């Protein structure tokens, strides 16, 4: 199955080294456990390009490894062409939403942008906080929020796309 034939998901945060690569890795793990990996193309990006080419933050990788995840994607900057390349663009917070929305050139582009917490099932947070300047508890909270929201997101995708 070609990339264009798959459901294409892009997770976006500020620098693409903490939240969005974690969301990417968790979603990849989840769709693999469900036997749906051939139905999806999953990637992540940041609204800023400071970390382009870097692995995710070592602390996020460590916390993810404790839960069985492998966060190994390389950071890249969000670009306007991502609206053509992806069906869903999932942002972590309001600043990310505004930054990505600024690239939109049509209502169709705007409809692709969703907030990660729109899919939360157990948590009431209205955004996924950036753990970069926090301690271990911040990274664990982000992983809790992302695990919950990716499950909710996949549930919605399975319904919408009859998977």
Residues involved in catalysis: 13, 19, 130
CA-to-CA dists, residue 125 to 10, 93, 144, 155, angstroms? 21, 10, 11, 19
Q: Round to whole Å and give the CA distance between 18 and 108.
A: 28
Torsion 64-69-72-78 (CA) sign: negative
A 10 A CB-CB count for 73 gives 22
CA-to-CA dists, residue 76 to 9, 45, 50, 124, angstroms? 15, 5, 9, 29
100 contacts 91 by C-beta, under 8 angstroms: yes
Structure tokens at 143: 């992983």
């Amino acid at each position: 199955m070609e990339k264009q034939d798959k459901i294409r998901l892009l997770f976006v945060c500020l620098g693409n080294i903490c939240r969005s690569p974690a969301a990417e890795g968790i979603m990849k793990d989840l769709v693999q456990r469900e036997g749906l990996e051939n139905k999806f193309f999953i990637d992540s990006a940041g609204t800023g390009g400071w970390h382009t080419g870097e692995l995710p933050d070592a602390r996020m990788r460590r916390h993810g490894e404790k839960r069985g995840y492998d966060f190994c994607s390389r950071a890249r900057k969000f670009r306007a062409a991502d609206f053509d390349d992806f069906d869903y663009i999932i942002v972590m917070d309001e600043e990310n939403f505004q930054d990505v929305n600024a690239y939109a050139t049509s209502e169709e582009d705007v409809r692709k942008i969703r907030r990660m917490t729109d899919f939360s099932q157990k948590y009431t947070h209205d955004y996924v906080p950036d753990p970069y300047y926090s301690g271990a508890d911040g990274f664990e909270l982000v992983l809790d929020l992302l695990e919950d929201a990716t499950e909710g997101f996949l549930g919605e995708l399975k319904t919408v796309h009859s998977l």
